[in-house]
Amino acid sequence: MSPILLNGMGIVNDHSEYIEPEVPFKNPQIHVKNPHLDTMEEDILYHFNLGTKTHNLPEMFGDIKFVCVGGSANRMKSFAQFIHQELALPGNMDDITDICEGTDRYSMYKVGPVLSISHGMGVPSISIMLHELIKLLHHARCIDFVLLRIGTSGGVGLAPGTVVVTDKAVDCFFRAQFEQVVLGKVITRGTELDVGVSKELLQCSSELEDVPTVIGNTMCTHDFYEGQGRLDGALCSFSTEDKLEYLRKAYNTGVRNIEMESTVFAAMCRACGIKAAVVCVTLLNRFDGDQISTPHDVLVEYQQRPQVLVAHFIKKHLGLIV
Amino acid sequence: MSPILLNGMGIVNDHSEYIEPEVPFKNPQIHVKNPHLDTMEEDILYHFNLGTKTHNLPEMFGDIKFVCVGGSANRMKSFAQFIHQELALPGNMDDITDICEGTDRYSMYKVGPVLSISHGMGVPSISIMLHELIKLLHHARCIDFVLLRIGTSGGVGLAPGTVVVTDKAVDCFFRAQFEQVVLGKVITRGTELDVGVSKELLQCSSELEDVPTVIGNTMCTHDFYEGQGRLDGALCSFSTEDKLEYLRKAYNTGVRNIEMESTVFAAMCRACGIKAAVVCVTLLNRFDGDQISTPHDVLVEYQQRPQVLVAHFIKKHLGLIV
């Protein structure tokens, strides 16, 4: 597949900058930054319905090398089944069971070295999942893994269906930072993601048909309607021109898509020394509208693109594709 | 049941202040505050998989008088089945189907005049649901209804299992307000809830066995771990004493429980002129710990308490209990 130019607005796939994948990832161990954890007799990962006393976490999860997370439980189940097929693993892909079936907060599937987990919508929802996931990987003594968010988003100046690999995750003020409140005090964390993994993903896209991909900044908001400048919420106090001006400002700072989880995802991975990337497909171009009115089958195909891209990335790392 | 005194820290059920229920609610119509909606040919409620062209919303939802929302999809299905039984509605309660089954973002069940919807965890997740719910009720021309959040929470100085009916929803700085970002500008909305409905709910609790209930402030955070002063997250930079000091401060301002949705729920209902209340059971007393280690069957019973309370409230309004 040739380098991709989308309306002259995307960053092209650049083969010359391609960095050879490292197998395994240089991610030797997680830096869980909590001295209290060592003093706990048991750690109950409440929203996963798992615990250190009730489950043998090293045995269940110790071989994990790829952790993939996304908002929708159905989509993350489909992804697990897809990966099962792609890695030609033994057994029937329809027999995959939800490891968190005792709770409906999140769904979790393990297929070989790949863990697929849903995280719901928004920063608070993914943040609960990440705290428990990072502790899970720590308790399971996982090393040399990568954490990938595969999601959906609104595009900013991109054709619908374009996949955006996140350069910087920025907040609604276009700052590459995440504000975390700790005991009523605001602390700021950086949101840099792993440049090497992002470039590898871009390279992977160039080896695939029909996965148009760019690298760009991803804006993370705490609201889908007013926060993203949509005109179709229950509340809207601004004009079409106000909206377009905000989107143009976002575009001019390098924002190519908008979603609702990337800043805390990047900040927590960075704080814990985890290699991570964000790969989201755009379902619409926000300069053209707010409502997602694309036919269902087209949306389904769009949502498969990050999955196809990440599956290719995983297969390369496992040596299944040279 | 006698007035309840919990460790001397709760506000007692006060029969003398009891206000006779109004049937129907004086909530004549929703104030959807968005002039753009009138100009739209179609409104797709994307995360419900419903729309004004594809569904007859007035026919489907026009008779709704009680909208109950909660985080977990399973719990909101159980609640729908429970209400079906409580209202002695015709048909088999196991046949209740998810109106949003085409999507897994939210689940929605309708039983007679009661709508039961899940909203996931955190402000962004419930906010998407509320935008689409408020538009749904607007399109369906619903009048004279009440919106109740029935959830779970961490208690502050209360025995586990206590139900808290929210007086004021406050943020992590103990302010009764919600900050909404609109096009990169922060606007502040009030979070007052309906005093009459809260008092009615407290009265209902006094008519029930085993539903210990207080009225208190509810703190809404954007994070379950660091934001709520938990010592057991993947990241924790504070001491046990720091945590307890924050909880004491919260308690002294009237906070009796902590959850993750009440401020935006209160703010949006208030902005749209909707009568609303928040009813959450406490799963633990945060002064005593962070982990939810209570046996599963006890937690299940706790989670039924807000449902039992709200069912009683609904039955009184429908004249099924004098």
User: Given an 8 Å threshold on Cβ–Cβ distance, is A127 in contact with B225?
Assistant: yes
Q: Mean pLDDT lowest for which of A20-29, A41-50, A302-311, B183-192?
A: A20-29
Centre a 10 Å sphere on the Cβ of residue B39 and count the other Cβ atoms it contains: 7
The pLDDT score that the predictor gives to residue A28 is: 63
User: What are A259-269's pLDDT values in tens digits?
Assistant: 999 999 999 99
Q: A108: which residues sit within 8 A by CB, 6+ positions away?
A: A48, A98, A99, A100, A115, A116, A117, A118
Would you say B119 and B125 are in contact if contact means Cβ atoms under 8 Å apart? Answer: yes
Does A12 contact B at CB distance below 8 Å?
no
Considering only CB atoms, A183 lies closest to which of B34, B246, B260, namely B246
Would you say A268 and A127 are in contact if contact means Cβ atoms under 8 Å apart? Answer: yes
Nearest alpha carbon to residue B272 among B23, B37, B24: B37
Q: Does the structure show a pLDDT above 80 at A86? A: yes
User: Given an 8 Å threshold on Cβ–Cβ distance, is B236 in contact with A36?
Assistant: yes
Pairing of strands A114-118, A185-190: unpaired
Residue B75 marked ligand-binding: no
User: What are B256-300's pLDDT values in tens digits?
Assistant: 999 999 999 999 999 999 999 999 999 999 999 999 989 999 999
Residue of B nearest to A54 (CA): B293
H helix or E strand, kind and range, residue A51:
strand A50-51
User: Given an 8 Å threshold on Cβ–Cβ distance, is A34 in contact with B235?
Assistant: yes
The pLDDT score that the predictor gives to residue B7 is: 32
* Arithmetic mean of pLDDT over chain A: 92
The pLDDT score that the predictor gives to residue B27 is: 59
Q: Does the structure show a pLDDT above 90 at A88? A: yes
Q: Does the structure show a pLDDT above 70 at A152? A: yes
| DSSP character string of A268-315 | HHHHTT-EEEEEEEEEEETTT-SS--S-HHHHHHHHHHHHHHHHHHHH
Q: CA of B15, closest CA in chain A: separation in Å?
A: 36
Does B312 contact A at CB distance below 8 Å?
no
Contact list, B235 vs chain A (CB under 8 Å): 32-34, 131, 268, 271-272
Q: Does the structure show a pLDDT above 80 at B114? A: yes
Distance in angstroms (rounded) separating the CA atoms of residues B261 and A222: 12
Distance in angstroms (rounded) separating the CA atoms of residues B7 and B244: 18
B51 falls in which pLDDT band (50, 70, 90)? very high
Whole-number percent of chain B with pLDDT over 90: 88
The pLDDT score that the predictor gives to residue A18 is: 37
User: For residues A17 and B205, which has the higher predicted lDDT (pLDDT)?
Assistant: B205
Does A54 contact B at CB distance below 8 Å?
no
User: Given an 8 Å threshold on Cβ–Cβ distance, is B72 in contact with A105?
Assistant: yes
The pLDDT score that the predictor gives to residue B28 is: 63
B15 falls in which pLDDT band (50, 70, 90)? very low
The pLDDT score that the predictor gives to residue B25 is: 63
- E-strand ranges in A73-145 read 108-111, 114-118
Q: Does the structure show a pLDDT above 60 at B69? A: yes
Q: CA of B318, closest CA in chain A: separation in Å?
A: 29
Distance in angstroms (rounded) separating the CA atoms of residues A291 and A293: 6
Q: Does the structure show a pLDDT above 50 at A17? A: no
- State the ipTM, two decimals: 0.91
* Arithmetic mean of pLDDT over chain B: 92
Considering only CB atoms, B184 lies closest to which of A44, A231, A246, namely A246
User: What are A48-77's pLDDT values in tens digits?
Assistant: 999 999 999 999 999 999 999 999 999 999
Does A127 contact B at CB distance below 8 Å?
yes
The pLDDT score that the predictor gives to residue A25 is: 62
Distance in angstroms (rounded) separating the CA atoms of residues A304 and A310: 10
Tokens of residue A163, six digits = 């996949």
Distance in angstroms (rounded) separating the CA atoms of residues A115 and B51: 35
Residue B105 marked ligand-binding: yes
Considering only CB atoms, B242 lies closest to which of A32, A73, A183, namely A183
Does B76 contact A at CB distance below 8 Å?
no
B54 falls in which pLDDT band (50, 70, 90)? very high
A15 falls in which pLDDT band (50, 70, 90)? very low
* Residue A215: C-alpha distances to residues A10, A228, B154 (Å): 7, 20, 41
The pLDDT score that the predictor gives to residue A23 is: 43
pTM of the predicted structure, to 2 decimals: 0.92
Contact list, A234 vs chain B (CB under 8 Å): 32-34, 130-132, 134-135, 138, 268, 272
Contact list, A136 vs chain B (CB under 8 Å): none
Whether the bond into B24 is cis, omega within 30 of 0: yes
* Residue B201: C-alpha distances to residues A8, A271, B144, B160, B260 (Å): 59, 44, 17, 19, 21
B30 falls in which pLDDT band (50, 70, 90)? confident
The pLDDT score that the predictor gives to residue A8 is: 30
H helix or E strand, kind and range, residue B256:
strand B255-259
Q: Which residues of A are annotated as a binding site for substrate?
A: 228, 230
Mean pLDDT of B53-75: 97
User: What are A205-264's pLDDT values in tens digits?
Assistant: 999 999 999 999 999 999 999 999 999 999 999 999 999 999 999 999 999 999 999 999
User: What are A293-309's pLDDT values in tens digits?
Assistant: 899 999 999 999 999 99
Integer-rounded Cα radius of gyration of chain A: 19
Contact list, A122 vs chain B (CB under 8 Å): 120, 122-125, 127-128
Q: Does the structure show a pLDDT above 80 at A24? A: no
Whether the bond into A35 is cis, omega within 30 of 0: no
Does A269 contact B at CB distance below 8 Å?
no
User: Given an 8 Å threshold on Cβ–Cβ distance, is A292 in contact with B44?
Assistant: yes
Contact list, A183 vs chain B (CB under 8 Å): 226, 229, 238, 242-243, 246
Q: Does the structure show a pLDDT above 70 at A167? A: yes
Residue of B nearest to A105 (CA): B72
User: Given an 8 Å threshold on Cβ–Cβ distance, is B232 in contact with A121?
Assistant: no
Give phi and psi for A112, each to the nearest 5.
55, -130
A10 falls in which pLDDT band (50, 70, 90)? very low
Mean pLDDT of B127-145: 97
A11 falls in which pLDDT band (50, 70, 90)? very low
Q: CA of B181, closest CA in chain A: separation in Å?
A: 5
The pLDDT score that the predictor gives to residue A26 is: 61
Does A225 contact B at CB distance below 8 Å?
yes
Does B72 contact A at CB distance below 8 Å?
yes
User: Given an 8 Å threshold on Cβ–Cβ distance, is A260 in contact with B182?
Assistant: no
Contact list, A180 vs chain B (CB under 8 Å): 223, 226-227
Q: Does the structure show a pLDDT above 50 at A195? A: yes
Helices and strands, counts by H and E, chain A: 7, 12
Mean pLDDT of A158-187: 97
Nearest alpha carbon to residue A205 among A194, A215, A195: A215
Q: Does the structure show a pLDDT above 80 at B168? A: yes
Residue of B130, B232, B300, B302 to mutate, interface with A, max A Cβ within 10 Å: B232
The pLDDT score that the predictor gives to residue A303 is: 97
Distance in angstroms (rounded) separating the CA atoms of residues A77 and B78: 24
The pLDDT score that the predictor gives to residue B12 is: 34
